Amino acid sequence: MSSNVEQIKERLGIVEVVGSYVKLEKAGSNYKARCPFHNEKTPSFFVSPSRGSYYCFGCNAKGDIFSFVEQFEGLDFVGALKVLAARAGVALARENPKAKNEKDRLYRALDAATEFFEKSLAADDEVKEYLAKRGVKEATIKEWRLGFAPDSWRALHDELIKRGFNTGEMQGVGLVKKTEQSAPMAVGESAVFYDIFRGRIMFPIFDSSGRVIGFSGRLLPRLDDGKAGKYINSPETSLFNKSRVLYGLHKAKFDVRKRDYSIMVEGQMDLIMSHQAGFSNTVAVSGTALSENTVAGDTVTNLGLLTRLSNNLILAFDSDEAGFKASSRNAKTALSLGMDVKVAKMPAGEDPADIILKNPAAWTAIIKNSKHIIDFTLETLLEKKLDPRKLGKEIVALVLPYVRALQSAVDQAHFIVKISNAAGIKEEALWTELKKVAAVGEPPPTFDFSEKSKVGGGSNAAVNRQSVIEKKLLGIIYWQEGKAKSAVDLERLRENLGAILGKAIFAELLAASEAIKNDLIFQAELSYEGASNLSHETRELLINLEIETIDEKLEAVMRRVYGEKERGSKEDIELIQELSAKKQELKTQRFTRTTFGT
């Protein structure tokens, strides 16, 4: 696998990979962007082409192209490897199946099931005819790996047994269930498992890297007796978490980033037809479940990944009551995560797949004319010509929950004014009612990539000024040590640090910093490369560090002095005076250097 990694790194640069996910700006010999792993207004995320790595000064996210794809898309290493191999045109070397671990065997079982369903579809004229009538092209069937589960109790089970998989693995990925006494079996038959999917058109659900992790099965119309559900989906498994995947996202993600908006539909057929019509930035919720957070534990959720690609979302759900409720629920969730949500107005009784089949141009117009969810809902209510009292109740019930979900107070104020003017309701009354509306979920958590090293003071590094200065100085030392000619006197710098911190503490810091040495060098390069006078910058840092250490000593003495019933010892008072005088002297030096350049 290491040879695969090396080949991919030879063909793909860090700027090319990261730049396909986030907008990068040139910053000297490096690039910068707003970090995709935590909320920020000022760019603190840097990419170094020469080092082939990235680093965020805000949350300490760091790594190479593989760790970036893992973190951004919520994949494991193998998933990231597959994504990057496809981009680089590298054929991944096949491994000995016996060497595969348990998780890899589960992926292989799902892929084997997909192959079985594909072959079953290819041999079934009825299914092919049904898909053709729905407008699905043969190339689309192959691209999305559509299949058919035969109307047989154990066809898949028996096929996977032949391929060397066991029933525990099949159960583990939601392909079979244990039979109950009421389940039909032939006389003398001893099988105790049966296929979950039978007589259904199969839609494989893929993770972000394109690996099959589950299925959604649509009952063949001829077999629909009204007793079984039209659609059934895989249960949640160790590979398939419904809040961490969206159907079609593995193909839509780069077009979402490129076009800066995504289209969300309900069903797999809606998605397939939308992609077929050229809207390859479409995703579907069927078989999955939208999360109310951007991350869950240490894993990116489906909306978390979607928001990283673009904050703009168009909902294109069916126009029936079920579609309206789904659209409303998903809109509130998306708004609460800071997304800008629009709604595509669908003709009564039609879904996206029907519209595209009849007239692809109509679908283009519907997407183009989509409106913000609040504007859309408000206009729909106004069109009903309700009496003022009834209109007010409808606005409180249907419109204000969207306003409440907005993250921005400015956006809330904008829409309150708009609603007030359009409906003739006083703004004060709307604000009063808005306060009564329940919020959607909790504030989304963010990743914590903070170092737990002694260098930087652990998770409080962002607010610990002394540790930040220590990091910078150590970074300068390591950085300049690698230069043919150092721009600073490294021996003297080490002596000064030892004098300020104490030789023992300085030695401890050096030992602890070895684990993040490359990160410290990267930070130093980003901060000081091209600096006209690195020695001056270093002296400033030393002065600031000494002031911080004096402040720490002063705080300790002051606590001791004012914690005593008496006024403290004479030695303590003299120490406070001495430290205060030294601090003032250093501040004077800093002022002189900064003002006069000495």
Q: What CATH number is associated with residue 254?
A: 3.40.1360.10
- CATH number, domain of 60, equals 3.90.580.10
DSSP string, 507-540: HHHHHHHGGGHHHHHHHHHHHHTT-S-HHHHHHH
One domain, residues 218 and 355: no
Mean pLDDT confidence for 570-575: 70
Residues 65 and 83 in one domain: yes
**Tens-place pLDDT, residues 145-190:** 999 999 999 999 999 999 999 999 999 999 999 876 555 555 444 5
Q: Is residue 119 part of a domain?
A: yes
Give the rounded percent of residues in the chain with a pLDDT score beyond 70.
85
Residue predicted with more confidence, 585 or 22: 22
In a domain, 443, yes or no: no
Which amino acid is located at 450 in the chain?
A: S
Distance of alpha carbon 458 from the chain centroid: 24
How many H-runs (helices) and E-runs (strands) does the chain carry?
A: 26, 18
The whole-angstrom separation of Cα 252 and Cα 582 is: 62
Residue 446 lies in a domain: no
Pick the more confident residue, 301 or 441: 301
Domain around 33: 2-88
* Whether residue 206 is found in the same domain as residue 259: no
Q: Could you tell me if 255 and 346 lie in one domain? A: yes
Nearest to 337 by CA among 295, 288, 384: 295
Give buried/exposed letters for 254-284 (b at 16+ CB in 10 A, else e).
ebbbebebbbbbbbbbbbbbbbbbebbbbbb
280-282-283 Cα angle (round to 5): 135
Task: Say if residue 401 is in the same domain as residue 375.
Answer: yes
One domain for residues 51 and 171: no
Confidence class for position 592, pLDDT limits 50, 70, 90: low
pLDDT for 103 = 87
Among 36, 57, 88, give the residue marking a domain's end.
88
Q: 284 and 411: one domain? A: yes
Residues 274 and 405 grouped into a single domain: yes
With residue 188 as reference, give the H or E element that holds it: none
Cβ atoms within 10 Å, residue 184 = 8
* Domain stops at, among 240, 267, 288: 240
Residues 247/287, Cβ–Cβ less than 8 Å = yes
Q: Are residues 102 and 235 in the same domain?
A: yes
E strand or H helix at 206: strand 200-206
Domain count, the chain: 4
The Cα 59–Cα 127 span in angstroms is 51
What's the pLDDT at 92?
80
Query: DSSP letters of 215-274?
Result: EEEEEPGGG--SSS-SEEEPPP-SS--GGG--BTHHHHHHHHHHHT-EEEESSHHHHHHH
Q: Which of 235-249, 350-364, 567-581 has the lowest mean pLDDT?
A: 567-581
- Domain membership flag for residue 38: yes
Q: Does one domain contain both 282 and 427?
A: yes
- DSSP, collapsed to helix, strand or coil, labels residue 212 as strand
pLDDT for the residue numbered 2: 55
pLDDT at 102: 85
The whole-model pTM stands at 0.69
- The 3-state secondary structure of 22-54, one letter per residue: CCCEEECCEEEECCCCCCCCCCCEEEECCCCEE
Q: Which of 102-106, 418-422, 495-499, 588-592 shows the lowest per-residue confidence on average (mean pLDDT)?
A: 588-592
Structural domain ending residue among the three candidates 194, 219, 240? 240
Rounded-to-integer distance, Cα 545 and Cα 529, Å: 21
Please indicate, yes or no, whether residues 48 and 156 belong to a single structural domain of this protein. Answer: no
Question: Is residue 411 in a domain?
Answer: yes
**Is the residue at 453 inside a domain?**
no
**Residue 298 · residue 447 · CB < 8 Å:** yes
Per-residue pLDDT tens over the stretch 62-118 = 889 999 999 888 888 888 898 999 888 888 866 554 445 888 999 999 999 999 999
Do the domain assignments include residue 512? Answer: yes
579 vs 37, which has greater pLDDT? 37
Among positive and negative, which fits the CA dihedral 59, 64, 67, 71?
A: positive
Among the residue ranges 106-110, 265-269, 333-337, the one predicted with the least confidence is: 333-337
Asked if the model's pLDDT at residue 122 lies above 60, the reply is yes
Q: 262 and 148 in one domain?
A: no
* pLDDT number for residue 464: 63
CATH (domain of 153):
3.90.980.10
Residue 132 lies in a domain: yes
pLDDT digits (tens, 9 = 90+) for 532-555: 788 888 888 888 888 888 877 777
